[in-house]
Structure formats: structure tokens, C-alpha cells
Chains A and B, each alone.
Chain A
Amino acid sequence: MEAFLHQVLAGLSTGGIYASLALALVMIYQATHLVNFAQGEMAMFSTYIAWSLINAGVPYWLAFLLTVGISFVLGVCIERIIIRPVENAPVLGVVTVFIALLVILNSVTGWIYTYTIKSFPSPFPEGMALGRFMSPHEVGAIGVTLLVLLALYGFFRFTPLGLAMRAAAQNPVSSRLVGIRVGWMLALGWGLAAAVGAVAGMMVAPIVYLDPNMMSGILLYAFAAALVGGIDSPVGAVIGGFVVGILENVLGAFVIGNELKLSVALVLIVGVLLFKPSGFFGKVHVTRV
């Protein structure tokens, strides 16, 4: 029983990370109807930037904030320079560009930092844990994740810019008619998604250790989470993240063994797409003939 509880709680912790990444994916999907296959690598690259800063002597939380800021700018640049020219291209072209981005980021990171695994510090000191059930980092990660999610929620719900971004995602034509610069809203969305991804990366790196390939499995879980929740529902993405985190840990520990944990993601993805493609919180789409 104790072991089960431990797995559930650990699952909540990693679930928070999946939730953040899933939210980033949903934000981009809502605005563009595109799946950002490079989201994981962007998060990974941001985490390496944080590592460089910390290694250069910058205190953790300052490095954290700087990384979030730099990632935001990078996200905006990627959207304006690489994605915008192919926004209306056929699906295969767009997917290829995303995959190219994935590959470039992965390769450049490996080149600059080598493929040796590095350790990434956790800002949460030993000793402030929920007793024996969770490590301080696991608790801290959930806390940071929830803070980020709350901040995003507040931004979208209560600020004029957030409202404009929601409008631009839903109805670009009408948005232009009220003066919203839809192109820049898209870029902002990418910036935010990149920033959220950076947070996810920095929270997960102390657990899985820093290496250029660390995010591919996590990205898969984030995809599963976004699909389970509904690819156009931010709330769904968050709930989906926690569900996937718990499922992964519990199934991995008690049912199928840790080796096949990624297959959980695969089964979830295919399963959701088959039986409930709009997810549990998303909207059903009707195609016009």
C-alpha cells in the first residue's frame, strides 16, 4: 500500500512536468492547428542554457528566470523566422519543418555540450519533504508546475493581451477586424510555449539527468497527456498530464515493468485516438465537405 502511494505521488510529480509540456503543445495547437514535434527539443535546449548559466556561477533562481526569458525570445524567433513561411503549406511540409527543427536542436546541443550525461541541480533543499513519501524535489516540482499553470491561467483569463491571444487563436479574421495583430499573437504564443517548456525541462532534468536525448520519451508522454485531455483544451492537457504521470508510474511499477513504460504512452496515444479522439475535455470536430 505504501509502495502504491509512493508511486502515485511520484506520478503526480512527473505528471506536473508532463502537464506543463502538454500545455505548451496545446497552446500552439490551439493557435495554429499544428503539433509542435520539436517542443521536447526546445525544452531540452533551454535546460542546457540554464546549465551553462549555473555552471558560470549564476545563482539558481536567477538562472531559472533568465532561461525562461531567453526561451521566450527564442520561441518568438522560431515562429517568426522558421514557422511563419510554412504556416499554410501542406501538412507533410509543415511536419517536415518541425522534425527538421527537432533534429537541428538535438544535433547542435550535442555538438556544443557533447553527449555525456550531466547532472542538473535541484533548487529544493534536502529535508523539506512529505516524510518518506516524496523527495523534496518531487514536491518542489509540483509546486513550481502549479505556480506556472496558475500564472498562465490568470494571464489568459484576466489580461487584455491574454484575451487577444485567445481571440486570435479562435478566430483570426474577426481578430484582425478589432485590430489584433494576429501574426504577433502567434509568435507570443510560441514564446510562452517555449518558456513553459523550459520550466518543464528544468524540473525534470534533476530526475532524468541532462543529455540531448532526455526529452524524447517525455515528449511522448506529453503528447499522450494532451490527447487524453483533448488537444484543444488547456485544462484537459493539465489533467491529462497528471493522469498520464500516475498511470506511467503505477503501471510501470506493478504491471508491465519499467522497461516498457514508453509503450504505455504509445498505447494511450493510439487508444485515445481510436476511441475518443477529441479527448475527455476537448471539442468534437465536424469537417465541412
Chain B
Amino acid sequence: MKNRIFLIAVLLIVACALPFLVSNYRTFQFTLVLVYAIALLGLNILTGYSGQISLGHGAFYALGAYVTAILMDKAGMPYWATVPAAGAVCLVAGFLFGLPALRLEGLYLALATFALGVSMPQLLKYHHLEKWTGGVQGIVIAKPEAPALFPMMGLPLNPDRWLYFFTLAVALVMFLLAWNLLRGRIGRALVAIRDQHIAAEAMGINGALYKSAAFGVSAMYTGVAGALGAIAVQFVAPDSFNIFLSIVLLVGIVVGGLASISGALYGALFIQFVPNIADEISKAAPWAIFGIFMIGFVYLMPTGVAGAIRLLIVRRRSP
């Protein structure tokens, strides 16, 4: 336990120092890593802990992003207020989608969420909603400025750095929340439902409620990530939220590792930086390289990076 706290402290220090050590563009990339980590944490709560597969979480990311964009653009809300709003909307939406979805297992749920993920762009382009969603062109958002007090303290905080710290703060809150949730009764209940749902019901756990709630919470996380992502990128458009986004998120948890909070971080690093590497290997077919990575991980490292590290630690500990 002490080792863990030490590690987390080191990580935090590195995270805080990062924007001052690298270029603005890199800072922006790391902001996105944090965004993905939050989204992956959400998906992990659903798939890793609750055993439900979603191939459509990109839809909730999109929902969160659009809530933020619409509130900022049409209602003039400040960016930081839109984040909880996006979370709330996605929590409700996820819970509602989860209610019917709880009757579906494994592959069937994957199918239904796949359908959601594929149809999302079309829904976003629907011309009756255009005056809110901006149709095919989407919505452009103004870049947030660092609050006035910081320049006065002598800290040179440009917008990219400010955004990074804002996102970091939200990420820390979300991670703490998840950690608390999952290590207690709720986490154990979810695992019980995942592994032996009939036995769990017999023990008095209301599987239906937990599963819908899990869906709602995971959607909320992904929605918050979407909101932060929209703020970072300053732009939302329907075609950036197609099925490939959902697939990217899936890749993230497979690579990072299921049922683990640290897995979300590994996965996020992978999906932010590896596409660039893939691009360099093959300019024309980066996704093919990505796909090969995916298959490789399923064959060779099915518990993801987090699982592999856990195995290494266990092996080193046992004599």
C-alpha cells in the first residue's frame, strides 16, 4: 500500500510538471490522454467490472461533447459549468439506455450498442435538429482563457496549460470517485453480477438496478470525457463521432486492461500516441496496423498492460 501511495505521488508530481517541460502541442496531446483516460474508465466500469460489452460508447462521448458545445454556443454558459451538465445528461441517457439493455447479454448487447455507434452520425446530422447541432458543419467553440488570478501570481499560464490542469483536476476527481465506488460494496456487487449473475440474484443483489446504474455511470464518465474533449479541440462535428470512435475506446480497454483503474491510463496513452506511430509505419493504412495491434493484444496479452504488470509484480513477490 505504501508503495502505491508513493507511486501515485510521483505520478502526480510528474503530471503537474509536464506542461512546463514540453511544447504546447504536446501539452494538448496529454490533455487528450487525460480525456481518453476518463472515457476508458467509464467503459471499464461497464465492461471490466460489470461484464457488459459496449461497442457504442462513442455515442455517449458525442452526447457529452455536443451538450458542452450547445450550452457554450447557444446558451453562453461558461465552459467549466458545461462539464457537470454533460455528465448529468449522459448519466440519465446511459441509465435509460441501460434499462432495456440489461436484458441483453454479451454479444447481443454488443450488437445493440454497435447499432447505436453506427447510427450516431446520422442522428447528429438530422436536419430538424440542425439549428442546435449545426448539422454537418458542427459547432465551433471558443478557447477558454486561464482565469485572471494566475497571471497576477506571476505564473505564465497559457490557455493550453490551463486546459491541461483543468482537465487534470477533473480527471483526479473522476478517478477518486471511481476508486471509492469500486472498492466497496458496489464494486463487489458488480463483480458478483458479472461472474455469476444468477447466484448474485439469489443472494439478494438487484442485478437489474446495478446493471442499469453501471451503464448510467459509465455513460456519465464518457460524457464528461466528451465534454472535456470538445473544449480541448474547440470543435464538434458529426463525422468525428462515428463507429471508429467507439472502436478506439474498445481498443483502449483491451490494451489497457479490464477491471483496473490504472488500465484506463495505459489504454489512453496507447490510443493517443500509437496511431501516430502506426501512421509512420504505414501512411496509407494506419488502422490496419491498429487492427494488428488489437489482435496481438488479444492473443498475447489478453489482460492488457495492467494485467501483465500485475502478473509481473505477483511473480516478483512470490519466492
Choose among A33, A34, A95, A223 the residue with the greatest number of B CB atoms under 10 Å from its CB.
Answer: A95
**Which residues of the other chain, A, contact B127 by a CB distance below 8 angstroms?**
259
In the complex with contacts A37-B114, A108-B285, A273-B103, A103-B254 CB distance below 8 A: no
Contact B107 A107, beta carbon cutoff 8 Å? no
Q: From residue 205 to 246 of chain A, which have CB atoms closer than 8 A to chain B?
A: 216-217, 219-220, 223-224, 227
Query: Which of the residues A86, A106, A219, A289 comes within 8 Å of B298, measured between beta carbons?
Result: A86
Contact of B53 among A86, A91, A101 (CB under 8 A): A91
Indicate whether B287 reaches chain A with its CB closer than 8 angstroms.
Answer: yes
Q: Cβ of B294 and Cβ of A89 under 8 Å apart? A: no
Q: Once the chains bind, are B287 and A262 in contact (CB under 8 Å)? A: no
Chain B hits for A263, CB < 8 A: 119, 122-123
Say yes or no: is A99 at the interface (Cβ < 8 Å to chain B). Answer: yes
A111 touches B103 (CB 8 A): no
Given contacts A107-B285, A273-B104, A93 and B112 within 8 Å (CB-CB)? no
Residues of A within 8 A of B106 (CB): 91
A-B contact count (CB 8 A): 134
The answer on a CB contact under 8 Å between B198 and A289 is yes
Contact with A along B145-169 (1 / 0, CB 8 A): 0000000000000000000000000
Give bound CA distance, A266 to B47, whole Å. 21
A91 to chain B, nearest CB (A): 4
Closest to A90 in B: B302
Instruction: Point out the residue from A99, A266, A277 that lies within 8 Å of B294, measured CB to CB.
Output: A99
Q: How large is the interface on A (under 10, 10 to 19, 20 to 34, 35 or more residues)?
A: 35 or more
Interface presence of A100 (CB below 8 A): yes
Given A91-B53, A95-B110, A270-B112, A262 and B118 contact (CB-CB distance below 8 Å): yes
Q: A104-B287, A107-B285, A270-B100 are in contact. Are A34 and B298 (CB under 8 A)?
A: no
Kindly state the interface size class of chain B when it binds its partner: 35 or more
A97: interface (CB < 8 Å): yes
Please measure, in the bound complex, the distance between the C-alpha atom of A260 and the C-alpha atom of B119, giving whole angstroms: 8
Docked-complex contact B302 and A103, CB < 8 angstroms:
no
Given contacts A260-B126, A273-B108, A103 and B294 within 8 Å (CB-CB): yes
Report the Cα distance A107→B286, complex, angstroms: 7
- Nearest to A35 among chain B residues (CB) is B107
- Is residue A274 contacting chain B, with contact meaning CB distance below 8 A? yes
- Asked if B132 is at the interface (CB within 8 A of a chain A CB), the reply is no
- A72 and B287 CA atoms in complex are apart in Å by 25
The verdict on B6 contacting chain A, using a C-beta distance below 8 Å, is no
* A110: B residues at CB distance < 8 A: 284-285
Q: A92-B47, A96-B250 are in contact. Are A104 and B292 (CB under 8 A)?
A: yes
Q: Is A125 an interface residue (CB 8 A)?
A: no
> Please, which residue of chain A has its CB at the minimum distance from the CB of B244?
A103
Answer whether residue B206 sits at the interface, using C-beta atoms and an 8 A cutoff: no
Whole-angstrom distance between the Cβ of A115 and the nearest chain B Cβ:
10
A100 to B278, CA, bound (A): 14
Roughly how many angstroms separate A185 CA and B106 CA in the complex, as a whole number?
A: 25
Set of chain A residues within 8 Å of B104, measured between Cβ atoms? 273, 277
Are A99 and B247 neighbours in the complex by a CB distance under 8 Å?
A: yes
Q: How far is the CB of B278 from chain A (nearest CB, A)?
A: 10
Known A35-B111, A86-B299, A95-B110; contact A266-B287, beta-carbon cutoff 8 A:
no
Task: Produce 1/0 per residue, A250-289, CB < 8 A to B.
Answer: 0000000001111101100110011001000000000101
Identify the 7 closest CB pairs spanning chains A and B, nearest first.
A107-B287, A104-B291, A100-B294, A111-B285, A107-B288, A111-B284, A100-B291
Interface residues of A, Cβ cutoff 8 Å to B = 33-35, 37, 82, 85-86, 89-93, 95-97, 99-104, 106-108, 110-111, 216-217, 219-220, 223-224, 227, 259-263, 265-266, 269-270, 273-274, 277, 287, 289
24 A-B pairs with C-beta separation under 8 A: A35-B110, A93-B298, A95-B110, A96-B250, A96-B295, A96-B298, A97-B294, A100-B290, A101-B295, A103-B288, A103-B291, A107-B286, A107-B288, A108-B288, A111-B282, A217-B118, A224-B115, A259-B127, A266-B115, A269-B111, A270-B100, A273-B111, A273-B112, A277-B104
Q: Contact residues of B with A, CB < 8 Å? A: 47, 53, 55, 100, 103-104, 106-108, 110-112, 114-116, 118-119, 122-123, 125-127, 198-199, 243-244, 247, 250-251, 254, 258, 282, 284-288, 290-292, 294-295, 297-299, 302
